Amino acid sequence: LGRGMSNKEIAAGLECSVKTIKNHLNSIFQKLDVSNRTEAVVKGIEIGLISAEEQS
């Protein structure tokens, strides 16, 4: 998510469906209380779930 990958790219890498990725993202958005991918990445960095160095 933090690397800017599309749902399709994430699904291919994890060998699952795009629908599964969408469901997981919706769950992540709810748990982080955000409404989009950008907000999720920012919040993830703020609370230490992702390091800023991982974004390159």
Please classify residue 47 by burial: count the beta carbons closer than 10 Å to its beta carbon, then call 0-12 exposed, 13-18 middle and 19+ buried: exposed
Q: Which pLDDT score, from 0 to 100, does residue 23 have?
A: 98
How confident is the model over 27-55, as pLDDT tens digits?
A: 999 999 999 999 999 999 999 998 877 55
Sequence-distant (6+) residues with CB within 8 A of 51 are: 45
How confident is the model over 3-23, as pLDDT tens digits?
A: 899 999 999 999 999 999 999
Q: Which pLDDT score, from 0 to 100, does residue 28 have?
A: 96
Judge contact between 2 and 41, C-beta under 8 A: yes
Region of residue 15 (phi > 0: left; psi between -120 and 50: alpha; otherwise: beta)? left
Considering the entire predicted model, what is its pTM?
Answer: 0.82
Tokens read off for 4: 């800017």
